[in-house]
Amino acid sequence: MPWFEIIYSEDVSSKALSSNKVAARDRTEAAATAMRGFANARTTHGAKCFRVIDGLGMVVARGPKGISKT
């Protein structure tokens, strides 16, 4: 299974407040894992969004829905 890095931050282009590496079958499963951890990152670190990055360094998912992609 490929590895994905989940980065929790204040906005989509800022530095990480926290991050986590997970093994998942695909980007959908990795994004679901990110959503489950988002509530904890929000209360613990003040995160407002997350990014899921694959092994090649590409952003494959962002959230939560409605966050600006600029």
Predicted local distance difference test score (pLDDT) of residue 68: 55
Chain centroid offset of residue 3 CA: 13
**CA–CA distance, 17 with 24 (Å, rounded to integer):** 22
Going by pLDDT thresholds of 50, 70 and 90, the confidence category of residue 66 is low
The model carries a pTM of 0.85
Classified as helix, coil or strand, 35 is: helix
Instruction: Give the largest CA-CA distance in the chain.
Output: 31
Query: Percent of the chain beyond pLDDT 90?
Result: 79
23-39 pLDDT tens trace: 999 999 999 999 999 98
Classified as helix, coil or strand, 21 is: strand
pLDDT higher than 90, residue 65: no
Residue type, 6: I
**CA–CA distance, 45 with 3 (Å, rounded to integer):** 23
Mean pLDDT of 11-28: 92
